[in-house]
Amino acid sequence: MPTTLPADPHVTPVPLDKAYRLINHGPTVLVSASHDGVDNVMAAAWACALDFQPPKLTVVLDKATCTRALVEASGRFVVQVPTVAQLALTHAVGNLSRHTDADKLAHCQVALWHADGLPLVAGCAAWLACRLIAEPHNQQAYDLFIGEVEQAWADSRVFRDGRWRFEDADPRWRSLHHVAGGHFYAIGEALAVDQPPPLG
C-alpha cells in the first residue's frame, strides 16, 4: 500500500482477485483523477465490473466532464464507492462542474488523500485505482472507458475478508444506487440462496 495513504487502520488492501466484489452489486461510484496539479471528482452511476483477473471495469464519462479530460491526459483514475453518509457529497459532485466552479471540491466538501499521485476521496467504503486501457473508438463513440484495477482498498468496518458486511455495519456505510434526479436507494438486506424468502 502506498505510504502516502493516511495511517488509517481501517483502510485495508483488498486482494486483486476479490476487487470485482467491491462493485459487483452495482453501486453508484465516484470517479477521481489528477493531471498537472488539477484534481477532480465526479459521480457515475454507469460503472461496471468487466473482468476478474486481472480485474477490469468500465465507466461512462461524458465529454462535458472535466474528470474525463484528466483521465485521458493522465491515463489513470480511481473508482470509489461512496456511502449513505456521503449522499449529499455524491449528489453535489455529480451536479456541479469544475468547468464552472474551480473550487468545486471545496464547495462539495470533498477531502482527498493522495496515493501514488492519484486522488482518493476520504470517507468512501472502497477504492479501486485503475490504469486506463486506451480504446479510442469506445471512448469517442460511446464515452465508454475501460480500466484495469491495479490496487484496491476498502474500509474494514464495512468490507472484510473479501466480502461486504453491510448487514453488520452502521447503516451509514451502505452503498448508494442512483435512479434519477436526487433519488437514490441504499443497498438493503442480505440474501443467501440456501435461505430463499418465503413465497406465501
Name the site residues for a copy of itself (rule: CB under 8 A): 21, 24-28, 45-51, 56, 58, 60, 84-85, 87-88, 91, 135, 137-138, 142-144, 146, 162-164, 166, 171-172, 174, 176-180, 182-194, 196-197, 199
In the bound state with a copy of itself, the residue whose beta carbon lies nearer, of 107 and 163, is 163
Listed residue (46, 58, 47, 31) closest to 119, CA to CA: 31
Task: Output the smallest distance, CB 178 to a copy of itself, in A.
Answer: 6
**Of 33 and 92, which has the nearer Cβ to a copy of itself?**
92
CB of 2 to a copy of itself, least distance (A): 27
Question: Which secondary-structure segment (H or E) carries 12?
Answer: strand 11-13
| Cβ neighbours around 22 below 10 Å, total | 27
- As measured in angstroms, the least distance from the Cβ of 151 to a copy of itself is 20
User: Residue 125: how many CB atoms within 10 A of its CB?
Assistant: 26
The beta-strand segments (E) located in 87-160 are 112-115, 118-121, 126-133, 144-155, 159-160
**CB of residue 49 vs a copy of itself: minimum separation in angstroms?**
5
Nearer to a copy of itself, 51 or 101 (CB): 51
CA distance 86 to 75: 27
Asked if residue 91 lies in contact with residue 43, where contact means CB atoms within 8 angstroms, the answer is: yes
Give whichever of 47 and 115 is closer to a copy of itself, judged by the CB atom: 47
Residue 33 or 176: the one with the smaller Cβ distance to a copy of itself is 176
CB of 117 to a copy of itself, least distance (A): 27
* Direct distance between the N- and C-terminal alpha carbons of the chain, in angstroms, rounded to an integer: 50
For residues 17 and 97, give the distance between their C-alpha atoms in angstroms, rounded to a whole number.
34
